[in-house]
Structure 1
């Protein structure tokens, strides 16, 4: 049964975040708010938890396009190949924000992603999400919560999310109503930025 925890972005409860982060290190799955839609995440270093998320999404973990939720740009060199100054300027200008930037991966990627040449990086403009990454001490592997509803692609009500995912995850963080537009996804591995998906973030970089 998932524990539903109410947190406020203006004043996040550090004690609760630390408790959730501790559980994540042990393999817990968490649904949490971002600056776009609610995300489903786990500790990037916990292989079993990543496999569980892949199973829930119905994909093979090594082929899954999960994002890495980072606290800030300091995590970049850990998981991405050297990026040029032009690319770094784009990242610095637009993050934190509602973007997923696809960057070239490096050899430090978790074993499960070793065959992937690229990685999607997110630094959401949301204090709860960033606080959770900070409490964990490393990035969160994350994917959006999709809805079967044909009209609304994403569930925005935390209590409905909790109802639906109650037996599948360990925590649902209620950070208020979520958005129903995903992040804008931009590929920065080519000579010019390439739009993969238009979302909440402006495409004018």
Structure 2
């Protein structure tokens, strides 16, 4: 891999992945496409609309036309659209949460999934189920939706967001072999958790995705 194209639904993720790529993919040229209208529409409608699916396909095709040898789409909420778009280009396309889902299936049979948006929770849970089926491994999935946490974060009340997510992660860690964070924005909370909670692996997608691409570079 010489050139990686990253497609984001929030410009705030650009520096997050820039740091990871610099650290884990040295020598790989990267470029970013950011379009927050995609996630805004998904949140507003509560679903992955045909319009968003078409626009995701357009972004993937644009990344391929720009010379990407590999494309990474960094938003879990549009994962199904990413899988469909992959068939339209001749370069590999990865949804950011696939390596995380595979790692969760490898680590445990009872898998917890935490999210602050139902539009992210559902596709993440679906992906884990499908990756487990592909691996031939029976799993039990337990999910937690932190209702109101995303709105709190967007309104500037980070403390309330963090407290709600921490409570959900603490509950899931007590019940599960491994816990998956459906959104990268939730990873900020992990460092605030008690050591007893951290005894259970808690997975976040960005670093796992870039680490996976590093094995292919």
Question: What range is the shorter-chain TM-score in?
Answer: under 0.3
For normalisation by structure 1, the TM-score amounts to: 0.28
Higher helix share: 2
Q: Which has the higher contact order (CA 8 A, sep 6+)?
A: 1
For the pair shown, the structure with the greater C-alpha radius of gyration is 2
For normalisation by structure 2, the TM-score amounts to: 0.27
